[in-house]
Amino acid sequence: MNFARQYDEYREAVEAYLGGLFAEKTPWADLYESMRYSLLAGGKRIRPVLTLAFAAAGRADWRRALPVGCALELVHTYSLIHDDLPCMDNDDFRRGRPANHKAYGETLAVLAGDALQSEAFRLIAGAPGLDAETRIACVRILSGACGASGMVAGQVLDTLHAPKTPDELREVHRLKTGAMIAGSCQLGAAVSGAPGLLAAAAEYGHGIGLAFQIRDDVLDVTADAAEFGKPIGSDRESGKVTYVDLYGVEKCGELVRDCTEGAVAAVSAYDGDGFLAELARSLSARRK
């Protein structure tokens, strides 16, 4: 298995699928333009790639998982648009260019996020090649990952409850970041239907999700702004307590390695070609 080649195959399939969405000519073309501005802004497409990889790990044709993996990417994109708003994180840039609300205004940015969220569930409902039971399972996974006991709950804790202790911060990241990453893994497992894979996917996803967020906290104080794609030190300027504040950069590196290796162990029985292990380790060393 060539990891880079396989990752590129997954990512290119995701890009092609997403590129075909919201391209119609309509009287509300400005809405579609705003949606596509953020949806097609690039990035590694980690979450939908995880969905496809877990479908493959369960011995399914990973292409059948494209609609549900891309549905989660729509939800992820909506969350980024809303996170950047002045009432949330108040970030002017995302991935090296103006945030959606800076490019299209706050009203259209809010509506673009709203539309992306609802369209995600339309993708799942109409996903070809999946039976009704699998589609319902995928709706349940995605709604749980992004809803009032998942990503949104994490955003509430992060923005309104000022987490300061290690336990409080871990809970924020379990919900705000980890729930969606675990959800992406579980979606692929649900499409495959492989026995036992759903639980392993959840453990792997939460492990790499926490590692991802801790690494993000480190990059927020150590990365190059142009490479990172958003301002460095924005969390500190906003008064947020991060893992770096609590543990320091060196200890954060140890925590990232521990979370990553725990995730790798969770899926070892299914990861015959080593793709999931390589992906987890590559995320732990990312620079943006």
Q: Where are the beta strands (DSSP E) in the chain?
A: 93-94, 97-98
Instruction: Tell me the whole-structure pTM to 2 decimals.
Output: 0.93
Q: With bands split at pLDDT 50, 70 and 90, how would you rate the model's confidence at 266? A: very high
Token output for 166: 């290690």
Distance CA 277, CA 183 (A): 18
Mention every residue, 6+ apart, whose C-beta is less than 8 A from residue 219. 228, 286, 287, 288
Residue 9, judged by CB atoms within 10 A of its CB (0-12, 13-18, 19+), counts as middle
Whole-number pLDDT of residue 165 = 93
> Which has more confidence, 278 or 287?
278
Distance CA 254, CA 244 (A): 12
Whole-number pLDDT of residue 89 = 87
Whole-number pLDDT of residue 210 = 95
The tens digit of pLDDT for each residue in 132-173 reads 999 999 999 999 999 999 999 999 999 899 899 999 999 999
| Domains of the chain from N-terminus onward | 3-284 (1.10.600.10)
Mention every residue, 6+ apart, whose C-beta is less than 8 A from residue 28. none
Mean pLDDT of 86-94: 92
The tens digit of pLDDT for each residue in 25-47 reads 999 999 999 999 999 998 899 99
Token output for 170: 């871990």
Distance CA 205, CA 47 (A): 10
Distance CA 271, CA 267 (A): 6
Mean pLDDT value across the chain:
93
